[in-house]
Amino acid sequence: MSRRFIIDTDTASDDAVALVMALRWPGDPITIDAITIVAGNVPLEQASRNARFVVELCGADTPVHDGRDRPLVRAPHDAMFFHGPDGLGGMNYPPPRRAVAGSDAVAELVRRFRESPGEITLVTLGPLTNIAAALEVDPELAGRVRECIVMGGAACTVGNITPAAEYNIWCDPEAARIVFRSGMKVLMVGWELCRADANLDDGDIERIRMLGNELSRFVIDSNRSALLANREWLGDPGLALPDPVAMAIALDPAVCTERGRHFVDVSCDDELTRGMTVVDRHHVTEREPNIDVCWAIDVARWKQTLLRTLA
């Protein structure tokens, strides 16, 4: 029986790789029911264009639905400084031929989970605006999601947009707080899991290029801005791919080697800690655990998962 996913994304370079992995997964059968678009890394229109381009590149026909074009209560703040002016490394890929399937991703999320309760895994690769908006329309949505894999947060570590916060959560902390407090079954995959040895190093990048196909070239070329920024701005050794790491866990749960259930909340009220994911790892607050947190991954398995989808 095919597993079913819905992917919510602010499609820039690492999101694009995660979409490729899901759309071309060579393992057990997976159906991508829909891709929903949210503003974040790039404005909504660009994120939608990028997602539709990737769907075509993969030879798929997954419908793409546009969602919210800004955070719930805050001004939008893109990350094109990291991903390039088009979110895909400034490669100027041609516009997609396929049109948007719909312009109300929130209604689409509510409809699909109502029709198939407990059957669909939600994978979020951007700010949680669409998901929070859907929960505001239908609070029962939380119990209808089979599991929500959230690429976001920084579990007891430094952030990548402020010292305290990871970009997706920082971008719309109010939305993240709604989702984390909703009772939805959430696995938080923090950005720190793609760092250090989990970076694609020069050898990994060369192995991908040597596959010599259109997808392998796209994966590296579209991330050229991210690679440069990761090395010069963050000081990491290679290419960090947080969204593909989260997608690898969604596709192959064994990639996550250590996880725990903890009380987690999101800071919204103080600019110094805006978007911080406060994880009570040692149960010092005595609050009821509400979120599963991935603490460690099998780095070799994550990289092999990526290579399998591109080969």
In order along its 311 residues, the chain shows pLDDT tens digits of 899 999 999 999 999 999 999 999 999 999 999 999 999 999 999 999 999 999 999 999 999 999 999 999 999 999 999 999 999 999 999 999 999 999 999 999 999 999 999 999 999 999 999 999 999 999 999 999 999 999 999 999 999 999 999 999 999 999 999 999 999 999 999 999 999 999 999 999 999 999 999 999 999 999 999 999 999 999 999 999 999 999 999 999 999 999 999 999 999 999 999 999 999 999 999 999 999 999 999 999 999 999 999 99
Residue 159 parent element (H or E) = none
Q: Return d(Cα 277, Cα 156) in angstroms, integer.
A: 8
CB 102 within 8 A of CB 65: yes
The phi-psi region of residue 122 (left if phi > 0; otherwise alpha if psi is between -120 and 50; otherwise beta) is: beta
Residue 226 parent element (H or E) = helix 224-232
